[in-house]
């Protein structure tokens, strides 16, 4: 038997076959050393040597950083005048719309930095994992695992020692071996058992004390190590989430427990933020996006210093990128750069944390702007569910509305101005678009800050106080008219049934600005709209231009056709596709029109030399240039309402769509669970009949029911369980139809004598729910 090979588990091992160990012991670990130690322990039945060696190495920073070094091939000599690195040029024929290869290409800068010496020693991660499997599956006769104890006992002390060495400047934070040590600890399988030790809390505390440059370097390296292993990143995220959840469950019953003051949860969240950056880096990244404008910095926001940052250099701020996240600033990336992360972003949501978090307290910490003293999870919004962030956004909006009311009141006292604490719109039903346009245009010109006041709508000639229900109907009616195809402002794609701006619309810019204002007001006043935009519209609202890949969502058939053109490699491309740089289209009136993507485009045939340029120009024309006037007016109106809100800081474009349109899941059982009763109880026979009828409804009938009870047929983010509805007893059995107070989500239900009568009366009521027949 070779000295480097462990004995077979079922073989008789003689003393002569026991692997030899150096007299001085192992100075560091590699796969061969681990195999020798495990084989010797099995052969002798003694684990003391293994325990002693592991304890010594895992408590010694220098020993760990030398462990599991990757054997690196020598570099070829660099010719004078030649670039240091030659990268493989990926041909356009090789590109696939959703290929993992594009992700690798996007990380080319990361690989280059690794090769150029960001770290001199990269850990052999595969050998490390195999060795950990051998070590931590080893058991003594009583079933205990001898390799666990020395690691559990030494790693927390190692982390605390490294932190002290870093603070006292005895440790150079740029030491390349430091990353190796962190990787060794992260790979430990006992991290998945938070109650077992303080290993993970100590690791979180250490890493989050690194300066941003070190955190960014660690993120890049982990992105390279994990980009082909999403399951491993998912396991890392799950492990940290488990630590947070376990901690929350242990603290929820303590008197006065506030999660923001729990240093372990805060450090784990900061560490999760690094893994979030890894998820973006290792995902399907696009080249740096071209922004419409450079976003102006909100002076009310400060750049939070999550860590003890010893960097003297000012952070590099890429144009248009969020200035809230210093790690992403240091990395020079944004979540908008990533088309598809390595793992889904909802893996980072912690529902228990989102439910337990005191939004008012967390928001107050956020406004303080000093997370080193008062931590706010809104600085790491990815960990909160969209519904929790919506609560924070609504709170932010309510505070702004309250401030405007206060200023209006003070101004009226000091200057004798007319008190105007709300944004009041008085419109006629038959002229709702014209009246809304005149009123909102006047407000935008005279005092655009009034758009941030609470909206109150009055319909001319109709009595009623707007407690929310009237506004909901106003939004519904005006959206129905503005997005009506006959109105001519939008077109509808037959394949995706989504709206797009009509490039040949006769409407002026003010009409499109009105739609942007309506969209912003709906978000500001927590109203969900029935609008079906493709995702590229929401991405453009975040300030980025539409690209070829956005066509997949907007016009998938066209995107597939362009992809076939890019992938075609035969020499007869001109004959097969017969395409020039002039594109033809049909407007909403059936007229055939054309557009030259380049000067004299009809004379330029698309071939292998220019097909990429054609696709890029065509996509840019469809998504940007052809609707530039209409979209810019639309975005201007939207920004009038939302410019100083935290919308683009707390939400992604996908989450903005949820915020605007709500969800599609009509889970009536969730609504039943959150429902409250007045005059009834959940055990009443009438209530049982009622929910049986609701559960039997089709999705269309459930939409009508929501419209009848809440004034909107859209499901809020978080599902119907987040919609608080009250069912009130409205007298004894009668022939009256059920009625509702849509402002307060109250259903007035008579105590009908039979299930059949209840069903007949309820379905009739919801079928005729439009208009002001509601209370």
In terms of C-beta distances under 8 Å and separation of at least 24 residues, what long-range contacts does 755-762 make, across chains too? 755/689, 755/692, 755/693, 757/733, 758/686, 758/689, 758/690, 758/693, 759/689, 759/693, 761/735, 761/736, 761/737, 762/690, 762/693, 762/705, 762/738
CA dist 140 and 117 (Å) reads 43
Could you tell me which of 324, 314, 436 has the C-alpha nearest to residue 381? Answer: 324
Task: Give strand pairing partners of 501.
Answer: 490
Could you tell me which of 714, 693, 690 has the C-alpha nearest to residue 704? Answer: 714
| Marked catalytic residue, from 159, 266, 338, 743 | 743
What the block records as the tokens of 383 is: 């960990």
Could you tell me which of 721, 720, 728, 725 has the C-alpha nearest to residue 686? Answer: 728
Task: Give strand pairing partners of 544.
Answer: 291
CA dist 187 and 23 (Å) reads 29
Q: Could you tell me the sign of the dihedral formed by the alpha carbons of 74, 79, 84, 88, in that order?
A: negative
CA dist 342 and 226 (Å) reads 9
CA distances from 609 to 91, 148, 606 (A): 11, 61, 8
What the block records as the tokens of 260 is: 């923001």
Backbone φ and ψ for 585, nearest 5 degrees, come out as: -155, 165
Query: Does the annotation count 743 as an active-site position?
Result: yes
Residue 752, C-beta contacts closer than 8 angstroms, at least 6 positions apart: 686, 689, 733, 758, 761
- Helices 176-186 + 199-207 axis angle, to 10: 150
Q: Which residues of 417-453 are buried (b: 16+ CB within 10 A; e: fewer)?
A: eeebbbbbbebeeeebbebbbebbbebbeeeeebbbb
The residues annotated as belonging to the active site are: 743
């Amino acid at each position: 038997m070779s000295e480097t090979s462990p004995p077979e588990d079922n073989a008789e091992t003689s003393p002569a076959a026991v692997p030899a160990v150096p007299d001085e012991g192992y100075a560091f670990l590699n796969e061969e050393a681990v195999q020798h130690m495990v084989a010797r322990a099995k052969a002798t039945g003694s684990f003391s040597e293994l325990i002693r060696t592991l304890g010594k190495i895992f408590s010694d920073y220098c020993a760990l950083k030398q462990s599991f070094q990757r054997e690196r091939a020598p570099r070829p000599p660099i010719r004078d005048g030649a670039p240091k690195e030659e990268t493989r040029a990926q041909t356009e024929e090789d590109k696939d719309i959703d290929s993992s290869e594009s992700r690798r290409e996007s990380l080319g800068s990361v690989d280059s930095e690794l090769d150029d010496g960001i770290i001199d020693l990269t850990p052999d991660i595969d050998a490390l994992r195999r060795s950990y499997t051998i070590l931590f599956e080893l058991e003594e006769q009583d079933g205990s695992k001898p390799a666990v104890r020395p690691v559990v006992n030494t790693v927390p002390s190692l982390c605390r020692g490294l932190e002290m060495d870093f603070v006292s400047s005895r440790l150079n934070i740029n030491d390349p071996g430091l990353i190796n040590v962190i990787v060794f600890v992260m790979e430990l399988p006992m991290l998945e058992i938070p109650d077992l030790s303080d290993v993970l809390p100590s690791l979180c505390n250490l890493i989050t004390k690194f300066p941003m440059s070190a955190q960014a370097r660690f993120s890049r390296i982990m992105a390279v190590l994990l980009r082909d292993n999403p399951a491993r990143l998912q396991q890392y995220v799950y492990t940290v989430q488990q630590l947070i959840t376990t901690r929350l469950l242990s603290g929820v019953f303590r008197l006065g427990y506030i999660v923001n003051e729990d240093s372990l949860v805060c450090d784990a969240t900061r560490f999760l933020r690094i893994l979030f950056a890894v998820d973006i880096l290792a995902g399907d990244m696009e080249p740096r996006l071209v922004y419409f404008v450079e976003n102006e910095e909100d002076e009310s926001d400060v750049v939070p210093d999550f860590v003890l940052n010893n960097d003297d250099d000012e952070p590099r701020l890429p144009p248009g990128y969020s200035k809230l996240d210093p790690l992403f600033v240091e990395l020079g990336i944004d979540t908008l750069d990533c088309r598809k992360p390595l793992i889904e972003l909802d893996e980072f949501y912690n529902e228990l944390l989102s439910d337990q978090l005191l939004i008012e307290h967390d928001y107050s910490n956020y406004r303080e702007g000093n997370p080193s003293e008062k931590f706010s999870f809104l600085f790491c919004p990815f960990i909160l569910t969209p519904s929790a962030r919506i609560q924070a956004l609504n709170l932010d909006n309510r505070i702004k509305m309250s401030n405007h009311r206060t200023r209006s009141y003070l101004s009226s006292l000091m200057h004798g101005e007319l008190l105007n604490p709300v944004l009041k719109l008085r419109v006629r039903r038959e002229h709702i678009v014209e009246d809304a346009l005149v009123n909102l245009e006047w407000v935008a010109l005279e005092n655009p800050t009034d758009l941030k006041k609470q909206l109150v709508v009055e319909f001319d000639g109709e009595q009623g106080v707007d407690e929310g229900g009237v506004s909901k109907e106003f939004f519904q009616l005006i959206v129905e008219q503005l997005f009506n195809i006959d109105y001519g402002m939008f077109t509808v794609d037959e394949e995706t049934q989504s709206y797009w701006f009509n490039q040949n619309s006769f409407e002026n810019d003010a009409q499109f600005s009105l739609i942007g204002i309506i969209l912003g007001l709906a978000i500001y006043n927590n109203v969900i709209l029935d609008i079906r935009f493709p995702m590229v519209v929401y991405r453009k609202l975040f300030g980025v231009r539409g690209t070829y890949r956005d066509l997949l969502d907007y016009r998938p058939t066209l995107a597939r056709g362009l992809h076939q053109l890019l992938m075609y490699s035969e020499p007869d491309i001109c004959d097969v596709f017969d395409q020039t740089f002039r594109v033809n289209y049909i407007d909403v009136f059936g007229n055939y029109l054309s557009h030259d993507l380049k000067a004299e485009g009809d004379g330029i045939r698309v071939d292998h030399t220019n097909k990429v340029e054609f696709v890029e120009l065509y996509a840019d024309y469809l998504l940007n240039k052809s609707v530039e006037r209409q979209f810019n007016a639309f975005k201007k109106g939207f920004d009038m309402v939302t410019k100083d809100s935290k919308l683009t800081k707390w939400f992604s474009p996908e989450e903005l769509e949820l915020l605007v349109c709500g969800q599609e899941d009509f889970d009536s059982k969730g609504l039943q669970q959150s429902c409250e009763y007045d005059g009834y109880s959940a055990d009443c026979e009438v209530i049982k009949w009622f929910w049986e009828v609701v559960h039997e409804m089709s999705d269309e009938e459930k939409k009508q029911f929501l419209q009848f009870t809440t004034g909107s047929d859209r499901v809020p983010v978080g599902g119907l369980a987040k919609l608080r509805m009250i069912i009130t007893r409205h007298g004894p059995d009668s022939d009256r139809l059920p009625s509702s107070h849509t402002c307060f989500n109250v259903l007035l239900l008579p105590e009908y004598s039979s299930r059949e009568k209840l069903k007949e009366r309820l379905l009739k009521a919801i079928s005729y729910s439009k208009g002001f027949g509601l209370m």
